[in-house]
Amino acid sequence: MLEAEIRKRREKRDVLLMTHIVLGYPTLSASAEIARRMVDAGADLMELQIPFSEPLADGPVILHANQRALAAGATVQGCFEVAQQLARELPIPLLFMSYYNVVWKRGIERFASDTRAAGLRGAIIPDLPFEEGASLLESFDRNQLDPVFIFSPTTSEERMRAIAARARGFVYCVARRGVTGKQTEFAVLGDYLARCRQATRLPLAVGFGVSNRQDVAALRGQADIAVVGSETIRVIERDGVQGIEPFIRGLREPRCAE
């Protein structure tokens, strides 16, 4: 189970790192190389985003990467093939991230069975409310996949508990309202993350704005996983693929156990 693996990894690190790539950005082969470099630099989990033309939860940086991937010819089938290749190679849990249109177009049962066959552990579908996801949850159950759901600072305690009852693996706690890629003050999230802890026993991942070592350090003792996405794309745009490894390594506190 994904939850058990996260807890085992947490025994060695204060905070895990979950990285995010857009499959097909800048090309399918380059995105696979980026994933490998992230793992070499110490990533503990990874989201593989299947590009979509209208990624509503994503800000302009990841939107641009989605557009680049689609313009370069990325297809859903091609993304599954690269994901399967990476799942065979990489010694960390991989999850899909995409939008419900992608799932629906492929077919709910086919999406779930293909995800399982590819060796991925589950998926994050940010635009699918749990109330409308019964068919997907049933397919995930049949295929032993973990559905990762989302808390936000505006989610009520009652709704957090309802979401937690259906989530598995971990819960993704967005650090603020809005979309990915904007700056976030992580030092002031204590009350919000305490509410998240009260609502679920699952590990907590925090994303939307993690961009440097200080952000990751601020989550120590409050969350289990720091999620970094938009900043890696900025690094690639600025420094190329070779810039990924020093960036990911630099997110670790020197005193975190290796």
Which residues are known to be catalytic? 47, 58
First-to-last C-alpha distance (Å) of the chain: 23
Residue the block writes with tokens 């509410």: 195
Provide the 10 A C-beta neighbour count for residue 214.
12
Closest CA to 190 of 160, 222, 154, 153: 222
Here the tokens at position 227 are 């999620």
Q: Report the alpha-carbon distance of residue 243 to residue 236 in Å, rounded.
A: 6
Q: Label residue 218 exposed, middle or buried (CB < 10 Å: 0-12, 13-18, 19+).
A: buried
Residue tagged 């990476």 (tokens): 86
Provide the β-strand partners of residue 150.
172
Residues 6+ apart with CB under 8 A from 143: 112, 113, 115, 116
Radius of gyration for the alpha carbons in the chain, expressed in angstroms and rounded: 17
Q: Scanning the structure block, which residue is given the tokens 């890696």?
A: 232
- What the block records as the tokens of 49 is 């985003």
β-partners of residue 207 are 174
